[in-house]
Amino acid sequence: MYVVLGANGRAGSDTAHALIEMRKPVRVVLRRPEQAEKWRKLGADVAIGSIEDVPSLAAALKDASGAFLLSPPPVSGDPYRRAEEVGRALAEAVHQARAPKIVALSSVGAQHETGTGIIATLKRLEKHLDGAAPSTTFLRPGYFVETWGEVAAAVIADGVLPSFLDPSKKIPMVSTIDVGRTAARLLSDDFIGKRVIELRGPQDWSADDVAAAFSWVLDRPVETAFVPPEARAAVLAKEGVPAEVADALLGMYDGIANGRVEHEEGNEQRRGSVALADAVERIVRRMKKDAGNLAA
């Protein structure tokens, strides 16, 4: 049995689906019982629990062959303090359950203590989980292509892709489909010890590349609109992002611009196979489906 946290999020969902497609037994850990039915229909076992509740999480991990762990994106409060709390709780649950193998979701750039904004929270997660299980893998993907789904409404409505990234700067990006497939394979590996694996897409991409992919999918022009650093805090505030979380997010974009969110020498490097246009097409398809459900 393979246990997956965050199954209703991007990477967790794609990891659970990849394991199910590999015909592996899967248990997803959900916060709310009403989320369970769709997973049971797919053949997954369901445990109800949360990272804050170590006993329930340890119970969900009991007798597991391996577990995919992650720290949920912060929505309020101090993200760095929250990362310490989550890291300690996950490590304690792994110890209590005597889990033999974990794959923990981290990020390219997590080797740095500072200068990477929100990514530095994953450095803290790695610190707590280091050695927590006999087999410990830190999976460090690049920037999720699916993150662009947060501005897809503007792209579809106006033909404009707002970007905090330099439009022409190519950076490590990857679809969460590749993240899920890679995590599933890593959970299935016979491996003892600690390893750090960095994951990129088939090639590095820029915001302009993403705009071109949206243009191809939508069959109409899409332009990149660069949001300068001095305007970004106001954009996030308008979206309702709390100040502490916004500061951490903006720190990540500063880290990307400064070249700190990059690979670390000595780590294994892998590339996924999902094309940028295919990942963007999935974003658009999901948005249209959600819009149809709302209209209904």
Structure tokens at 172: 């490590």
Structure tokens at 192: 């003892």
DSSP annotation of 22: T
pLDDT mean values, one per 10 residues, the chain (296 residues): 94 97 96 90 93 91 96 90 95 96 97 96 96 97 96 94 97 97 96 97 98 97 97 95 96 95 93 97 87 57
In this prediction, residue 75 carries a pLDDT of 86
Full-model pTM: 0.94
Domains and CATH numbers, the chain: 2-295 (3.40.50.720)
The CA–CA distances, whole Å, from 158 to 141, 145, 215 equal: 30, 20, 12
Angle at 264 between CA 149 and CA 171, to 5 degrees: 30
Distance between CA atoms of 75 and 241, rounded to whole angstroms? 7
Angle at 275 between CA 272 and CA 265, to 5 degrees: 35
Angle at 125 between CA 121 and CA 127, to 5 degrees: 115
Looking at 62-118, list the stretches that DSSP marks H as alpha helix, in order from N- to C-terminal side. Answer: 79-97
In this prediction, residue 33 carries a pLDDT of 87
The CA–CA distances, whole Å, from 117 to 72, 114, 167, 256, 290 equal: 15, 7, 20, 10, 31
Of the candidates 52, 35, 34, 43, the one whose C-alpha atom is nearest the C-alpha of residue 16 is 43
In this prediction, residue 118 carries a pLDDT of 96
